[in-house]
């Protein structure tokens, strides 16, 4: 399969990319860090392809998509993984710049990738679109209101997209569970160490994702055993 992953340079995106490659699949990925993208290119050559791209900027996503789709078929699985966390604090202490960054990456970034890659998938009437949600996209907690808002938005956006796709395709909001990543440590500090590492999570998540299909269209799913 050809699998496209955003936010591929760290955390869950990087762990998934490595696992899918190990399983023999082709991975197309993007991230904002040029150094990490260079390393991925050196470690995983053709047919894999990695490019620097900030998904929050529509024009850059358009260029990335044009490059990928010019010579290749559309992805079989598209995983919108790229995301950021707000600085912890009450909503009234969140400044406009930080709030806008959350929306730009976590919501607009997903829409940008869908806008430029999904038409090619729809033309073939096949493919699975997975938008990473969160437990905080189905519940709430103090001090993470902007992040909660962005992930609740992903739930609604994805379920609406599921209604628009032709038969044979799927759009799925996926809660990855509670994983020891830099993002979780920004919230729970050392408390995150009691949860699975990204590599261990990918051992479970990658086969789970590969098993998703049109039958799962529009369902809010979670990676089994990782809900916390």
| Residue 213: φ, ψ to 5° | -155, -170
Q: How many CA atoms lie within 13 A of 88 on its CB side?
A: 9
Catalytic residue status for 147: yes
Around Cβ 30, how many Cβ atoms within 10 Å?
Answer: 26
| CA atoms within 13 Å, Cβ hemisphere of 31 | 22
Q: Which residue has the tokens 């990335």?
A: 64
Q: Which of the following is catalytic: 117, 147, 152, 201?
A: 147
Q: How far apart are CA 210 and CA 219, in angstroms?
A: 16
Continuous H helices in the chain: 11-22, 34-43, 58-71, 96-103, 109-124, 145-164, 182-188, 198-210
Is the CB of residue 150 less than 8 Å from the CB of residue 106?
yes
User: Both ends of the chain: CA-CA distance in Å?
Assistant: 30
Q: Which residues are catalytic?
A: 147
């Amino acid at each position: 399969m050809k699998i496209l992953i955003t936010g591929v340079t760290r955390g869950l995106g990087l762990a998934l990319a490595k696992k899918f490659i190990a399983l023999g699949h082709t991975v197309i990925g993007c991230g904002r860090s040029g150094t990490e993208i260079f390393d991925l290119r050196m470690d995983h050559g053709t047919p894999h392809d990695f490019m620097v791209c900030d998904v929050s900027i529509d024009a850059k996503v358009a260029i990335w998509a044009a490059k990928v789709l010019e010579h290749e078929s559309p992805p079989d699985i598209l995983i919108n993984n790229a995301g950021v966390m707000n600085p912890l604090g009450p909503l009234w202490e969140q400044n406009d710049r930080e709030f806008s960054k959350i929306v730009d990456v976590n919501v607009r970034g997903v829409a940008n990738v869908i806008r430029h890659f999904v038409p090619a998938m729809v033309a073939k009437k096949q493919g699975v679109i997975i938008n990473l949600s969160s437990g905080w996209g189905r519940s709430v907690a103090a001090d993470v209101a902007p992040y909660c808002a962005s992930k609740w938005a992903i739930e609604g956006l994805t379920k609406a997209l599921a209604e628009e796709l032709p038969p044979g395709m799927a759009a799925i909001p996926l809660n990855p569970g509670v994983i020891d990543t830099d993002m979780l440590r920004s919230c729970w500090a050392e408390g995150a160490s009691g949860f699975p590492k990204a590599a261990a999570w990918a051992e479970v998540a990658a086969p789970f994702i590969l098993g998703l299909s049109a039958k799962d269209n529009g369902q809010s799913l979670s990676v089994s055993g990782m809900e916390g």
